[in-house]
């Protein structure tokens, strides 16, 4: 590299993706974060990225390029991510290998040259690059009038029985109709499965296979695939990436020695696993020598030719950097100048590589295409393999393709086995693949997938709505679309279509007022949503999409709503957000809460009781009709307070969202003057995690004795499985009958929760809340009436996609045929009305559309000079858009539900009840679960919560065991009285920080005074600590006076005494109240103390053992020297002298220090509230209310951190038993044995208690 970059050292950082896209993405993110980069390397000093994995996510690389503006080179085949670049821009990815479109074009051109117009195609639906090549190949082939006899997309793991046998049968049946060419774009494993299935075909059917040619793509050395295919079929044509020679790389690699690269852990692992060797025999020999010594073939390791492109990627960056160095440092022959370090040179480096290219390892000049970034030297090689009885298997290169020279093919080298005579080869040009019974079809115009649903207004131009919804998920390419999102999104799209259709039958609105709509598919990408919306707004030349005619926007995704809020606000367009995926955000305005001064939507901020106006949000007017998670928490609190319940236990989800819900509930409790006594806060992990059940059992058993007769379990969880898990554990502990459950949407009104788990029937009662929604009359009938022939304004391909997913079949001839379903659709399938379950968000979507229409009608009647004949706001005079927004806000505030004709809240088995007052949005419904028998239960609607107002009908509530009416819940006796009294006293004293209930604004919860010193056990611990330190000082003084000359034992004794003294001092850190600092000191000094003590014991016992063995050897070998003692004979080496023993001990301690430091860095210490507030408040005359994280099992993590000292202890114990009969200092050896045995016994007891005992016992 010195001749390329004189005076500049170019380093490298290797990233291991471990074969998973998640790990690759995380490694790339860590590499460009300041915390993960090595010391002394700035983020902008990482000059480029060379990607050597074939399945790297191009979206991640594209986003990295957008952020960092550095050159990214792909050494493997990849996607073309961008074309038609603007002036001055460069391709985001530079490709040294052929792109997937290049490979697809080679396959298509090959079929075209051979005049093969009727072929079978079997492609991978998930595995890259096969799926990407297949998509491009079919596009190219369709332009060449190629028909596909079989067109299958195969999942990575097909779940259909005899799947490959069915595929083989289909291929061979089509071969009888002329399809003698099979194109397989599959991984090697699936090709082998297909070939194995072909072998199982009946002989008559298999005979037709001798006339089939396999055309495939090779991404690796698939020798087995080619051999089996050529033996079974007539011939094989496969294409692959032709790679340049890697120069002298493999010669140098063969002579490389492990001893020269011992610092590389990847190489160490590879070396030991490949040759099964360790130690000097492995380290001091080269790769070539080891291969010969192990009697392995020369191919003992894979010689991956792709290393040449990896080398070329590094050379491209190096040569580009040299060009940049010459530009910034003219006249400087070597080294760097200040101009290279004072600025970010990566954009210059990218330009240098893209414009000028580089010289590769083979000496060829390499240039990149400006449009795609693909190397002009990237070459696709065409190979032919066939098998005959006389010559066996032959393989030869038949042609190449690259961007500079195009396709070069010698068809004379393409051979196949004659179907009539298996021993004869024929030219593959004689093979035909033409349809025998197909009609010539006229070419159809090129089809493009729909990107929006559009409803034209009755009069053009006319008023219209604009909408954004994630009908599809994200695709594999940047800004592309994937599979359909979910039936939920389709139902809400159908709700928009129905709402616009229903306007025609609405008698209260004149027929002349018919608005249109256009809903764009964001494909789950906020960038795509912004792009579509900006294009729509800027396209003011079209009368149908004129900005002056847009009355509002509807978004069905919360993240998208916030991403486009600024754009809509600048255009003065209001926005309704119906977040069908439950986007959690407090930055959304209540539907009916309007700012009196500006008449704009207000927003509520979590943790604050102040309303922020529309202007404080930067002008982003987002109106939401759906209740947020914060609304649910407030409703739950108002229910507890409204029923005069005074005691509660909080179960919250182990996530940031769950902690936010808990903090909000606790804040509401504090603001109410602590009217509700919070007995405990129990964190619930995601169901199924290891050890979670034990922890939850332990916590509930600990609070069992401190509960009143009846308490409220407030469930702030995330999903029904967590609720079921909590109910199951409550039943196991025997606490079900002592709890009334008050649950959020995790229970809600889910039908399955009525009967599973059965332990729910043992509760004292159940109240749940869910989003307020109503069944829209006629919607189910509208949805059931949609057919392939008539589906309202929904685009054909969108409806066909939903149709196929719903019935799990594929439509023949559909542009969006879902070929993962083996069954074919008949087209006569229809939606069963009884099977349709209306999505709860449908009501809110239709409410948004109808609210816009009603506001427009009122505006045209009152404020528009043209009346209802106006077709856009410009017909009504100046400032019409602002006036319409004011009318819309006033309508929402005045009568949000007045025009709704709805049924009862949507719920399985909901009670009839009386019709509720429809006077607010963002409402929450209160349900009471009522059981009648084992198979009979239903949800009874007993109240509503709207705009911070709760309405309940307590007469409709039912409770159990033995309560019938609403029970009284309060702590009247037992240990909980002192807990609740302490909370109440804190409230009365005006404490700013409630130690049992942390506020968001108080990060440091611990007091300045270490109050544990005042407790009884703290005083006792301090006394023992002082006595221990005095004893250590006395022992040290005794050793100094009686053993002035240092001996091995005396030095180690000093060392052990120092560790014991440090351990006594560490006790102080356990008496100090937990905080981030004290928790870190506990972790570090406890492990350090024990490692010093046990390292000294290990070295002491091993020293005694070696002394005995060495002494015995000396006595037997030197019998003439009878006067020499064993001890004197042993003192012969430096390792047994005091300095050597101290060094060995310090080495063991250093290992523990490294482990402890890594633990503190990667998992920083933190003090968290104890989940059992009663237990803590009982000790609160200066007792600990906080614990070190994790609060439930901190002791278990201490055990893990002491693994090394525990191993040292048991090693010392083992050797002490070996030397306890030693005649040399017998008292010393036996006292050491007794000490080690006693320490081991107490360590075992402490470990069991710390890991297995209940939380209360610990």
Predicted pLDDT of residue 834: 87
Q: Which of 5-19, 523-537, 629-643, 1086-1100 has the highest mean pLDDT?
A: 629-643
Rounded to 5°, angle at Cα 589 from 586 and 593: 130
Tell me the two tokens of residue 763.
């509760």
Percent pLDDT > 90 in the chain is 11
Q: Is the pLDDT of residue 246 over 70?
A: yes
- Rounded distance, CA 1243 to CA 1237, Å? 10
Task: Report, as an integer, the average pLDDT of 678-683.
Answer: 85
Coil, helix or strand at residue 160: coil
pLDDT category at 909 given cuts 50, 70, 90 is very low
Q: What is the DSSP string of 920-937?
A: -SS-EEEEEEEEEETTEE
Q: Is the pLDDT of residue 529 over 70?
A: yes
pLDDT category at 1191 given cuts 50, 70, 90 is low
Mean pLDDT in the chain? 76
| Of 154, 226, 151, nearest in space to 190 by CA | 154
- Rounded distance, CA 144 to CA 443, Å? 10
Better-scored residue on pLDDT, 768 or 611: 768
Q: Which of 86-90, 739-743, 751-755 has the least mean pLDDT?
A: 86-90
Over the stretch 915-968, which tens digit does the pLDDT of each residue have? 444 434 678 999 999 988 777 888 999 999 987 889 999 999 999 878 888 999
- Provide the phi-psi class of 922: left if phi over 0, else alpha when psi is between -120 and 50, else beta: left
| Of 197, 240, 243, nearest in space to 216 by CA | 240
CA distances from 585 to 236, 614, 624, 663 (A): 57, 15, 11, 15
Contact 833, 780 (CB under 8 A): yes
- Rounded distance, CA 326 to CA 320, Å? 10
Q: Which of 609-618, 1185-1194, 1209-1218 has the highest mean pLDDT?
A: 1209-1218
Task: Report, as an integer, the average pLDDT of 333-354.
Answer: 85
Sign of CA dihedral 723, 726, 732, 734: negative
pLDDT category at 280 given cuts 50, 70, 90 is low
Q: Which of 618-632, 653-667, 1228-1242 has the least mean pLDDT?
A: 618-632
- Rounded distance, CA 426 to CA 195, Å? 23
CA distances from 602 to 62, 575, 577, 590, 618 (A): 38, 13, 14, 6, 12
Better-scored residue on pLDDT, 391 or 148: 148
Better-scored residue on pLDDT, 132 or 329: 329
Task: Report, as an integer, the average pLDDT of 421-445.
Answer: 74
Task: Report, as an integer, the average pLDDT of 663-692.
Answer: 79
Contact 46, 23 (CB under 8 A): no
Over the stretch 347-391, which tens digit does the pLDDT of each residue have? 888 888 888 888 888 888 888 887 778 888 888 889 888 776 666
pLDDT category at 614 given cuts 50, 70, 90 is very low
Q: What is the DSSP string of 590-652?
A: ESS-B-TTT--B-EE-TT--SEEPGGGGTS--EEE-SPPHHHHHHHHHHHHHHTT--EEEEEE
Instruction: Delineate the domains of the chain, giving CATH numbers in brackets.
Output: 21-76+306-363 (no CATH), 104-239+409-430 (3.40.50.2300), 249-300 (no CATH), 452-620+840-894 (3.40.50.2300), 629-771+923-982 (3.40.50.2300), 786-830 (no CATH), 1011-1252 (1.20.1070)
Predicted pLDDT of residue 494: 92
| Of 398, 404, 333, nearest in space to 368 by CA | 404
Better-scored residue on pLDDT, 903 or 1189: 1189
Maximum CA extent, the chain: 129
Predicted pLDDT of residue 48: 87
Q: Is the pLDDT of residue 1063 over 60?
A: yes
Contact 1074, 1188 (CB under 8 A): yes
Task: Strand 392-402: give its sheet, edge to edge.
Answer: 147-154, 118-124, 181-185, 213-217, 235-242, 379-388, 392-402, 406-409
Task: Strand 622-624: give its sheet, edge to edge.
Answer: 452-455, 516-521, 464-469, 550-555, 575-577, 622-624, 589-590
Contact 463, 515 (CB under 8 A): yes
Over the stretch 96-121, which tens digit does the pLDDT of each residue have? 888 888 888 899 988 888 889 999 99
Q: Is the pLDDT of residue 587 over 50?
A: no
Q: Is the pLDDT of residue 72 over 80?
A: yes
Q: Which of 17-26, 399-408, 531-540, 1034-1043 has the least mean pLDDT?
A: 17-26
Q: Which of 195-199, 423-427, 729-733 has the least mean pLDDT?
A: 423-427
Q: Is the pLDDT of residue 1097 over 60?
A: yes
Q: Is the pLDDT of residue 258 over 70?
A: no
CA distances from 960 to 9, 730, 913, 967 (A): 78, 16, 21, 9
Residue with tokens 């909370």: 983
pLDDT category at 802 given cuts 50, 70, 90 is very high
Contacts of 302 by beta carbon, 8 Å cutoff, 6+ apart: 221
Strands 550-555 vs 936-946: parallel, antiparallel or unpaired: unpaired
Q: Which of 201-205, 430-434, 692-696 has the highest mean pLDDT?
A: 430-434
pTM of structure? 0.53
Predicted pLDDT of residue 917: 42
Helices (H), 69-129: 100-113
R_g of the chain computed on alpha carbons: 38
Q: Is the pLDDT of residue 424 over 70?
A: yes
Q: Which of 234-238, 609-613, 1160-1164 has the least mean pLDDT?
A: 609-613
pLDDT category at 184 given cuts 50, 70, 90 is very high
pLDDT category at 474 given cuts 50, 70, 90 is confident
Predicted pLDDT of residue 507: 53
Predicted pLDDT of residue 1254: 62
Q: Is the peptide bond before 1190 cis (omega within 30 degrees of 0)?
A: yes
Predicted pLDDT of residue 1002: 36
Over the stretch 979-1025, which tens digit does the pLDDT of each residue have? 787 777 665 554 433 333 433 333 333 333 334 555 666 788 888 88
Predicted pLDDT of residue 161: 76
Q: Is the pLDDT of residue 453 over 80?
A: yes
Predicted pLDDT of residue 951: 92
Predicted pLDDT of residue 71: 86
Predicted pLDDT of residue 994: 38
């Amino acid at each position: 590299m010195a001749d390329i970059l004189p005076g500049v050292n170019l380093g490298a950082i290797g990233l291991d993706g471990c074969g998973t896209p998640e790990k690759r993405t995380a490694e790339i993110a860590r590499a460009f974060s300041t915390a993960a980069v090595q010391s002394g390397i700035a983020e902008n000093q990482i000059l480029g990225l060379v990607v050597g994995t074939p399945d790297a996510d191009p979206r991640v690389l594209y986003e990295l390029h957008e952020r960092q503006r550095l050159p990214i080179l792909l050494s493997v085949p990849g996607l073309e991510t961008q074309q038609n670049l603007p002036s001055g821009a460069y391709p985001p990815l530079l490709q040294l290998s052929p792109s997937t479109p290049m490979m697809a074009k080679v396959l298509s051109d090959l079929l075209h040259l051979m005049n093969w117009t009727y072929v079978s195609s079997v492609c991978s639906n998930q595995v890259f690059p096969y799926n990407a090549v297949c998509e491009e190949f079919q596009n190219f082939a369709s332009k060449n009038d190629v028909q596909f006899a079989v067109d299958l997309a195969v999942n990575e793991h097909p779940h259909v029985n005899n799947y490959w046998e069915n595929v083989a049968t289909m291929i061979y049946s089509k071969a009888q109709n002329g399809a003698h060419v099979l194109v397989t774009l599959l991984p090697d494993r699936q090709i082998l499965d297909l070939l194995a299935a072909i072998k199982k075909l009946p002989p008559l059917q298999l005979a037709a296979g001798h006339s089939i040619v396999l055309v495939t793509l090779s991404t690796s050395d698939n020798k087995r695939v080619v051999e089996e295919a050529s033996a079974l079929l007539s011939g094989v044509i496969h294409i692959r990436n032709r790679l340049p020679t890697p120069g002298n790389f493999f010669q140098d690699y063969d002579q490389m020695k492990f001893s020269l690269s011992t610092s590389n852990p990847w190489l160490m692992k590879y070396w030991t696993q490949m040759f099964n060797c360790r130690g000097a025999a492995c380290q001091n020999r080269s790769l070539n020598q080891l291969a010969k010594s192990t009697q392995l073939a020369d191919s003992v390791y894979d010689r991956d030719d792709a290393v040449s492109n990896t080398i070329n990627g590094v050379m491209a960056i190096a040569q580009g950097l040299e060009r940049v160095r010459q530009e910034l440092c003219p006249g400087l022959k070597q080294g760097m100048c200040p101009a290279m370090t004072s600025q970010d040179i990566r954009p210059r480096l990218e330009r240098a590589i893209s414009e000028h290219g580089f010289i590769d390892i083979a000496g060829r000049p390499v240039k990149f295409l400006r449009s795609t970034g693909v190397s002009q030297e990237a070459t696709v090689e065409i190979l032919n393999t066939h098998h005959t009885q006389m010559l066996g298997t032959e393989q030869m290169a038949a042609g190449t393709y690259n961007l500079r020279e195009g396709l070069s093919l010698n068809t004379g080298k393409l051979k196949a086995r004659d179907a009539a005579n298996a021993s004869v080869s024929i030219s593959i040009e004689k093979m035909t693949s033409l349809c025998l019974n197909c009609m010539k079809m006229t070419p159809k115009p090129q089809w493009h997938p729909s990107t929006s649903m559009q409803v034209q207004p009755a009069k053009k131009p006319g008023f219209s709505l604009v909408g954004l919804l994630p009908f599809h998920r994200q695709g594999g390419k940047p800004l592309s679309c994937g599979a359909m999102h979910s039936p939920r999104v389709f139902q809400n799209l159908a709700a928009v279509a129905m709402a616009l259709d229903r306007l025609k039958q609405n008698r209260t609105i004149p027929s002349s007022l018919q608005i249109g709509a256009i809903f764009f598919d964001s494909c789950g990408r906020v960038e795509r949503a912004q792009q579509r919306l900006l294009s729509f707004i800027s396209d003011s030349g079209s009368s149908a999409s004129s900005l002056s005619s847009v009355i509002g926007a509807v978004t069905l995704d919360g993240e998208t709503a916030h991403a486009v809020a600024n754009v809509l606000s600048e255009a003065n367009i209001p926005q309704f957000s119906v977040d069908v995926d439950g986007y959690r955000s407090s930055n959304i305005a209540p539907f009916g809460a309007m700012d009196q001064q500006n008449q704009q939507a207000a927003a509520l901020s979590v943790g604050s009781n102040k309303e922020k106006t529309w202007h404080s949000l930067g002008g982003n007017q987002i109106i939401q009709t759906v209740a947020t998670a914060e609304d649910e928490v407030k409703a739950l609190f108002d229910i507890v307070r409204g029923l005069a319940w005074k005691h509660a236990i909080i179960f919250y989800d182990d996530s940031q969202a769950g902690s936010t819900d808990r903090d909000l509930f606790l804040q509401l409790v504090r603001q109410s003057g602590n009217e509700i006594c919070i007995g405990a806060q129990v964190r619930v992990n995601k169901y199924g995690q290891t050890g979670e059940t034990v922890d939850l059992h332990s916590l509930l058993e600990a609070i069992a004795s401190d509960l009143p007769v009846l308490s409220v379990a407030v469930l702030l969880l995330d999903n029904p499985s967590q609720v079921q898990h909590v109910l199951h554990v409550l039943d196991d502990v025997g606490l079900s009958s002592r709890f009334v459950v008050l649950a959020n949407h995790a229970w809600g009104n889910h039908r399955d929760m009525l009967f599973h788990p059965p332990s729910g029937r043992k509760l004292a009662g159940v109240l749940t809340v869910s989003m307020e929604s109503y069944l829209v009359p006629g919607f189910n009938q509208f949805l059931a009436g949609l057919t392939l022939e008539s589906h309202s304004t929904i685009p054909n391909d969108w409806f066909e996609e939903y149709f196929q997913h719903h019935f799990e079949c594929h439509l023949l001839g559909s542009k969006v045929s879902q070929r993962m379903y083996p069954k074919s659709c008949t087209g006569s399938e229809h939606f069963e009305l009884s099977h349709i379950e209306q999505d709860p968000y449908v009501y809110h979507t239709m409410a948004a559309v109808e609210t816009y229409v009603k506001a427009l009608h009122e505006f045209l009647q009152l404020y528009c000079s043209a009346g209802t004949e106006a077709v856009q706001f410009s017909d009504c005079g100046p400032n019409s858009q602002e006036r319409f927004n004011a009318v819309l806000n006033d309508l929402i505030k005045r009568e949000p539900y007045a025009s709704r004709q709805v049924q009862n809240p949507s719920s399985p088995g909901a009670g009839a009840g009386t019709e509720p007052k429809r006077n607010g949005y963002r409402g929450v419904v209160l349900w009471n679960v009522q059981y009648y028998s084992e198979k009979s239960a239903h949800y009874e609607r007993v109240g509503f919560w709207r705009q911070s107002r709760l309405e309940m009908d307590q007469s409709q509530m039912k409770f159990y065991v033995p309560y019938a009416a609403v029970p009284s819940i309060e702590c009247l006796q037992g240990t909980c009285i002192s807990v609740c009294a302490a909370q109440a006293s804190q409230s009365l004293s005006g404490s700013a920080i409630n130690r049992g209930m942390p506020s968001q604004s108080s990060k440091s919860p611990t007091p300045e005074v270490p109050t544990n010193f005042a407790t009884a056990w703290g005083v006792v611990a301090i006394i023992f600590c002082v006595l221990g330190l005095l004893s250590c000082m006395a022992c040290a003084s005794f050793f100094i006076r009686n053993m002035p000359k240092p001996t091995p034992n005396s030095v180690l004794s000093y060392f052990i005494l120092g560790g014991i003294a440090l351990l006594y001092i560490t006790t102080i850190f356990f008496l100090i109240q937990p905080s981030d600092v004290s928790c870190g000191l506990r972790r570090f000094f406890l492990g350090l103390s024990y490692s010093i003590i046990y390292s000294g014991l290990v070295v002491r016992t091993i020293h005694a053992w070696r002394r005995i063995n060495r002494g015995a050897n000396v006595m037997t070998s030197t019998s003439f020297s009878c006067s020499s003692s064993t001890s004197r004979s042993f003192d012969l080496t430096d390792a047994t002298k005091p300095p050597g023993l101290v060094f060995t001990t310090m080495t063991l301690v250093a290992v523990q220090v490294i482990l402890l430091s890594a633990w503190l860095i990667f998992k920083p210490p933190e003090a968290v509230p104890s989940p059992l507030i009663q237990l803590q408040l009982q000790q609160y005359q200066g007792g600990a209310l906080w614990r070190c994280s994790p609060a439930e099992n901190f002791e278990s993590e201490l055990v893990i951190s002491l693994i090394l000292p525990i191993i040292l202890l048991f090693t010392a114990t083992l050797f002490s038993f070996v030397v306890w009969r030693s005649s040399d200092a017998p008292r010393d050896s036996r006292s050491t044995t007794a000490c080690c045995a006693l320490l081991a016994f107490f360590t075992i007891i402490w470990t069991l208690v710390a890991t297995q005992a209940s939380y209360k016992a610990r």
